[in-house]
Structure 1
């Protein structure tokens, strides 16, 4: 995890320094700035894969010096390194980092290199010869925003980085795209699994063949193992739901085979269902379990800080971000990397509204649309709240190999039917890995299971009068829906004055 600030065109050093300082939490292990003819590049870095590497990655290409500021991970960096022969290349380091491999590939292939990167990344490359490029992974797991004004194009990892006089122009850098001064914005590869391709002729009432469950299990195990391939201490955020519990069960086995014990972290109000389920899972799979019990008053007091971290006012995200803040804070006392269960609901139709679809085509269309919007929804929550505590989140369910496989499965198998509850494909693939009461537990939003929804809705809704909502609801498009949401929007607007909420804030709009 890192903070990126970059500019192409006229730019002031002092502005860049201010922007980096506002994101120091993303990179407590050091920062670096580089300047060139017509560009500026800065980073704050959290050292995970190559802890001894300098904050910014550099290389030589002929007479030119190139620099890369990056956030996230390139999962196929070893394959890239082997293909480019980096270990045998004139004394190049054998432990070249994932970002170093990406930069070397860019030297070889230009902007086309970004299509070959497999992972969660936001990258900006600048060279002494004028080369400049910015790119973001296809799911938008790694955050990146940009603003264009006159001859200057400005990039940063978080909304709060931008000075107020630039905020009206800020918008998300689109996932899966590349920008260069010569080509402008260019779309890259399509979202994985845009159409189902496996077993389309099967009757959806039939059970899938066993190899489907084997493939899901083996691919997710590989993704978890890859997420644990770090030099820094790693643990898992264990909410007590089925998704994080599956990730915990896999990770605990892998870490145990490596001769250690996996730390797990859970939070909740006293007696909350999530906390009780997390304890059961931790005992079952044998983690070094840590938990925090908090009160309603603790949660209410945290909301202004959480909204500032989260950079959103959507009630659904706020409800889940409060316990997420607390569990990230707890984890930061012990580890630098945390695994999270984000993504399974979007791949396997885990949310209640997905059950309203009557055809597989309709369901698949909404799943694709939901995946495309995660970068300003659930992924934003996971990234911002963990980053606020200097912890890097990793989400094995969103490993692109697993995404491709899950989205290739006939969507009819993801629909609710008699004997097939939500996410039954995933649950059955891990039958025996968890207690049945957890594995087949009914889906609850993180805020529900921790007790957040009712507590926050009642308190913050009472701070706004019905007349206030009627008068102020049109401040955002689509209009603000509840008194609670208006209360959150007021906090958001005070924390991030000038940000265009309609352009930058994803919201869960009920049909």
Structure 2
């Protein structure tokens, strides 16, 4: 696990200044404290920071191919590199190291772009071919590892693992993109199709770009995408056996490391599954780490401890206290762009705890997206059944009216909070799911924006790219399209971004075995009844794991990695919420209605409404913009 950087000239072969690469590497020293390197040639320069995981002393980067005709900087892990190494040796390849980096170089030389489909892993890499004078930038299937890039005024392309590396280059224009603010307020993060700075791009998951010195940067090319177009017709018993085989292979393949290894354990289905299968495959106790809250209703450490006892793990716990909101500025610095997923705070804490004991930690991320484990997916599946029975001509007026009339009952038990369901049923399935995903609905955003911002935004709405993605998805049902949206939109932009930045902040490698592409491809072929069964999501996975885990772990209500931000914003953060609304950075942009922000803050602080999600968004946006554009800071 590492960080990469580079500069590539698309107009001629101008020399690259090593000092600029050094600066781009220095700002991500946290990603690679074990080594650094820079390589330059006419028209190109590559930089690397290394966190040693495999072949600790033998794979420094940038790395040259055996014949010296190609150079590589690589962030990630190729889990099947030993199998590929044997296959390449049979083809005549020679190796001088015992790591996966050299395998990438040999795979490129033997198979060209087809090498990407052979890699099972998480990666973002840059490979320069000195003979062809081309630079290949590639990202893994699900976007576990990030890659940012920008084209500068002189025609050079700069790239790096984090946005702060591009900001270290003096020629990057730091022009805020108002459409990114619209995206952020809708979703709580800036999706991969956009950046907070106009002109900065993120290479999409499962995409590559092949750059040449004598041509403008080409559009990204998709080399892989997940598909829900097929259905498996095997019996439930056979599907269980196949799933268990895939789960075991996914977990054991990610247990290879030359450094201490452990796992995050929340006590939920996914992390408990990973820990159970690690314990099955390991002769030594698995090292597990759990984070809890000093708010009883949000604390899951008891469930984690139950699983830890069951498998005799070397278990460690830490509590997130009510004053951990003081980490806000640190979080803003980690993510560069505005990021409002409040679970980033406990994720950072569990990464800090894990790093005290291990260098690699396995997580349970990805199963909810692949197997339909989110509550919103289950609700959407049931809503789609209603849509199939009631025509739109009746649904629109009926449920639209009910949705407008029904109160926004934040205080009520969840089954009585029907306003969102009515509004979703009034629309088609894709629009309904976009509403379910949104942190702030379109009408809520409209009330926030000033006339000046509305003019800047124009006809664009944050839902448009998501709806296009869902409507073009290789899918057969509304549930398929919803899961496709989660796997291709929310997962890389939110979940994987959160885990990458928080783990790398403490020099910890996080691995996601439940995102093994062969496992996900199996999951996407499952009949809907094997994903959602009645009111239960992730059905087949839960049935399969009953031999390992008790029902009270498998079938308890999903809690999620939540934080007590509603209480914080009525207590220790109340004055900060007021300050953001009345005179902070956001007020100085001229993009927001100050009176509406004040009303949101005061009604929340007084307990009349739960506006915690939008207030947290505004607070994180305020801090982020102040950091990105110092002219807006007080």
TM-score by shorter chain over 0.5: yes
Counterpart CA distance in 1 for 2:20 and 2:112 is 29
The Cα shift of 1:220 comes to 0.9
Q: 1:190 aligns with which of 194, 199, 224?
A: 224
| Within-5 A mapping of 1:229-308 | 229-255=256-282, 259-270=283-294, 271=296, 272-297=298-323, 299-308=324-333
- Residue 392 (structure 1) aligned to one of 504, 509, 521: 509
- Output the CA distance in 2 between the equivalents of 1:86 and 1:20: 37
| Structure 1 residues 496 and 220, CA gap change in structure 2 (3 angstroms) | farther
Residue ranges of structure 1 left out of the alignment (5+ in a row)? 203-207, 499-511
Residue 472 of structure 1 deviates from its aligned partner by 7.6
Name structure 2 gaps, 5 residues minimum. Answer: 175-196, 386-475, 598-612
Displacement of 1:108: 2.0
Determine which of 133, 139, 143 is the counterpart of 2:136: 133
Larger radius of gyration between Structure 1 and Structure 2: 2
Task: Give SS of 2:53's match.
Answer: coil
- What is the aligned partner in structure 2 of residue 96 from structure 1? 98
1:463 aligns with 2:576: yes
Q: How does 1:44-443 map to 2 (within 5 A)?
A: 44-56=49-61, 58-60=63-65, 64-85=68-89, 89=93, 92-93=95-96, 96-129=98-131, 130-149=133-152, 150-163=154-167, 165-166=171-172, 167=174, 168=197, 169-182=199-212, 184-199=218-233, 209-255=236-282, 259-270=283-294, 271=296, 272-297=298-323, 299-315=324-340, 317=341, 319-354=342-377, 355-357=379-381, 358-359=384-385, 361-373=477-489, 374-415=491-532, 417=534, 420-443=535-558
Which secondary structure does the structure 2 equivalent of 1:464 belong to?
Answer: helix
2:561 alignment counterpart: 446
Map 1:487-506 to 2 at 5 A. Answer: 487-497=619-629
Residue 212 of structure 1 deviates from its aligned partner by 0.8
CA distance, structure 1, for counterparts of residue 527 and residue 279 of structure 2: 31
Q: How far apart in 2 are the matches of 1:97 and 1:152?
A: 31
Q: Distance in 2 between matches of 1:472 and 1:221?
A: 54
Q: Distance in 2 between matches of 1:276 and 1:313?
A: 33
| Contact in 1 for aligned 2:361/2:508 (Cα 8 Å) | yes
Deviations 1:91-122 (A, max 9, x none): x34x6321211111112233332233222111
**Count of residue pairs brought into register by the alignment:** 475
1:331-369 deviation digits (Å, cap 9, x = unpaired): 111110000011111112222221223257011111112
Give secondary structure in 2 for the equivalent of 1:69: strand
Q: Is the 8 A contact 1:345 1:351 kept in 2?
A: yes
- Do 2:2 and 2:31's aligned partners in 1 also have CA atoms closer than 8 Å? yes
Task: Decide whether aligned partners of structure 1 residues 285 and 326 sit closer, same or farther in structure 2, where only a CA change above 3 A counts.
Answer: same
Shift of 1:68: 0.7
Report how far residue 88 of structure 1 moved: 6.5
Displacement after TM superposition at 1:235 (Å):
0.4
Query: How much does 1:42 deviate?
Result: 0.6
